[in-house]
Amino acid sequence: MTFIDISVALREGTPEWPGDTPFSCRWTSEIARGASVNVSAATGSPHVGTHADAPVHVENGWDGAGTLPIEAFIGAASVVDVRGHDGELELEDLGPDAGKPAARLLLRTGRSIAEGVFPHKWPTLSRSCLDALLEGGLRLLGVDAPSVDDRDSKALPVHRWLFMHGAYILENLDLRGVEPGRYELIAAPLKVEGADAAPVRAVLRPLASP
Measure the CA–CA gap between 48 and 148, rounded to whole angstroms. Answer: 15
Any idea which residues carry the catalytic annotation?
57
Contact indicator for 70, 168 with CB cutoff of 8 Å: no
Q: Sign of the CA dihedral 86, 92, 94, 96?
A: negative
Phi first, then psi, for residue 94 (nearest 5°) are -90, 5
CB atoms within 10 A of CB 143: 27
CB-based contacts of 134, cutoff 8 Å, min separation 6 = 162, 165, 167
Based on its alpha-carbon atoms, the radius of gyration of the chain, rounded to whole angstroms, reads 17
Residue 200 is classified by DSSP as B
Residue 108 is classified by DSSP as E
Measure the CA–CA gap between 31 and 52, rounded to whole angstroms. Answer: 34
Closest CA to 25 of 7, 40, 45: 40
